[in-house]
Structure 1
Amino acid sequence: MTLGFVRLDAPPLDPSRSEGRRLLEDELSKPRYAVEPSLWDRFREWLLGLFDTTGPGLPSWVFMFVLVVALAVLALVVGLLLRPEARTKRSGNDHAVLDERGVDATAYRNRAQSAVREGDWDTVVLDGYRAIVASGVERTVLDELPGRTAHEASLELSRAFPVEGDAIRASADRFDAVRYGHDPASEVDARSVLALDERLAKARPELTPTGARS
C-alpha cells in the first residue's frame, strides 16, 4: 500500500468560496491578462489630468464645454482637409490655370457670360481667361500641358498672337491678381478679357517653333 503525501503549503483541493475568489483575483492580476487602454480612454484620462492640475471643485459643465470645443476643432480640421480645393492643392500644381478636367472653352465662355449677368466680375476674369487658354489648346496653339500657369500660357500665346501680346499678358496678370492676390476685378477688367477672347477667336496664329497652325 502506497501512502500519499500532501504539501502543507498547497491550496486546498476544495477551496471555499472566498478562497476561490482570492485565487481568481491573484491569477487575473498577472501581467498576461492586462488589457491596453483604448485611445478614447487615454484621451479622457489626459483631459481629466488637465483639470486635476487647475485645482479642485471645477463644475462638470466646464469639462463638457472643453470636450465640445475640442471635437468642433477636430471636425473643422477634418473638413478643411477633405475640401476639394485642399485635395487639389495636395495632389498637383495649385497655380494651374486650367484646374478642371472636362471643361472646354465654350463651357468657360458660358460661365463667364452667366457671371456678367450677375455682375460677378471676378468670375468673368477667371473664366474668361480660362476660355482663352482652353481655346488655345483646342486650336493646337498650346500643347495640352497639365499644370500650366496663367503666366506661362500668356508667354506662349503672345508668340502665336504677337499683335495681342500686351493684352494677353495684362489679362494673365489680372487673372493672377484676382485668384491669388484677392484683388477684386472691375467691370472694365472683365469686359477687357471677354473682348480679348473674341479677338483671338477670330485671329489667325502665327507659326512659331512652339506653336501650330489652327
Structure 2
Amino acid sequence: MIGLLASVPASVPVQPGREAAQDLLLDELAKQEYQEARPGLISRCLDWLFDQFNRIDVSGGGSARPWVTAAVLIVVLLVLGLALWLAGGLRRTARGEKQVVLDDGSLTTAAQQRADAERAAAAGEWEVAVVARFRAVALSLEERAVIAALPGRTAHEVAVTGGESLPDLARDLVAAADVFDRVRYGHRPAGEAEYAAVRDLDDRVGRARVGVGGSAVAGGFEVPV
C-alpha cells in the first residue's frame, strides 16, 4: 500500500478538487494490477466508491471542500491498495499450493498403497483406488531408487522424473499423473478402466529395468477422457 501512495504523481495538488481526485483515481485503476484483480472486491466496490465522490458536497456550493476530497481520496486509495494486496495474496497462495502425491505426511509403502487400492477397487470405490494405486507407483519408483525420495512432489514431478530413467514409460507416467490430478484434486469421477490402467502401469514399473535407453515393458496407457 505504501507503493500505491508513492505512485501518486508529485504534480497532483495536495488538496485536489472533486473532479481532479476522480480523474486521479481513474488513472490509478487503469493500471494493469487493478485490471488483473477484476472482477472481485474492487470491481464490486467501484460504483459505490464513485457514488461517494459524487455525494461530497458543501451546502449548495456544488463543489467539495478540498480537505474533504483529499481525505476521501486517501482513504479510497488505501482501501483499494488493501483489496489489491489481499487479492494478490490469494492468487499467490493458490499458485503456491502444491498438489502433492502424498499429502497426509504419514509413512507408507508401495505395498500398503497397493493393498489399499485393491480393497477400494473391490468395494467399487474407484476414485480411492486410483489415488492409492498412483501413490504406489510413486513409492515404487522411490523404493527402487529410480527417483530420489523427496517429500512434497506433485504427480507430474514424479512422472517427469521417473520418465527420465524409464523413457519407455514416460508418456504413460504423465498420463497416469493426469488421471491422479483429475481425481484427487479435480474431484472428477473414475471407473474401473482408469484403475486398471494405473494398476497396469504400476506392474510395469515394478518389472522395468533402469538403464541407458530404458527397458520398460511395452504397453499403452489408455483411459477414457
Q: What's the TM-score once normalised by structure 1's chain length?
A: 0.52
Please name the residue that 2:137 is paired with.
132
Deviations 1:99-127 (A, max 9, x none): 23210000000000101100111011101
Q: Which of the pair has more CA radius of gyration?
A: 1
Q: What's the TM-score once normalised by structure 2's chain length?
A: 0.49
Pair 1:183 & 2:204 matched: no
One-letter amino acid of the structure 2 residue matched with residue 182 of structure 1: H
Please name the residue that 1:193 is paired with.
198
Q: Is the 8 A contact 2:159 2:177 kept in 1?
A: yes
Please name the residue that 1:108 is paired with.
113
Unaligned runs of 5+ in 2: 1-92, 214-225
Residue 98 (structure 1) aligned to one of 74, 80, 102? 102
From the superposition, tell whether residues 165 and 94 of structure 1 become closer, same or farther in structure 2 (CA, over 3 Å). Answer: closer
Identity %: 38
Q: Is the 8 A contact 2:140 2:205 kept in 1?
A: no
One-letter amino acid of the structure 2 residue matched with residue 96 of structure 1: V
From the superposition, tell whether residues 140 and 207 of structure 1 become closer, same or farther in structure 2 (CA, over 3 Å). Answer: farther
Displacement of 1:161 in angstroms is: 1.3
- The CA distance in 1 between the partners of 2:185 and 2:177, in whole Å, is 12
One-letter amino acid of the structure 2 residue matched with residue 193 of structure 1: V
Please name the residue that 1:82 is paired with.
none
- The CA distance in 2 between the partners of 1:142 and 1:164, in whole Å, is 14
Unaligned runs of 5+ in 1: 1-88, 209-214
Please name the residue that 2:48 is paired with.
none
Displacement of 1:207 in angstroms is: 5.2
From the superposition, tell whether residues 93 and 140 of structure 1 become closer, same or farther in structure 2 (CA, over 3 Å). Answer: farther
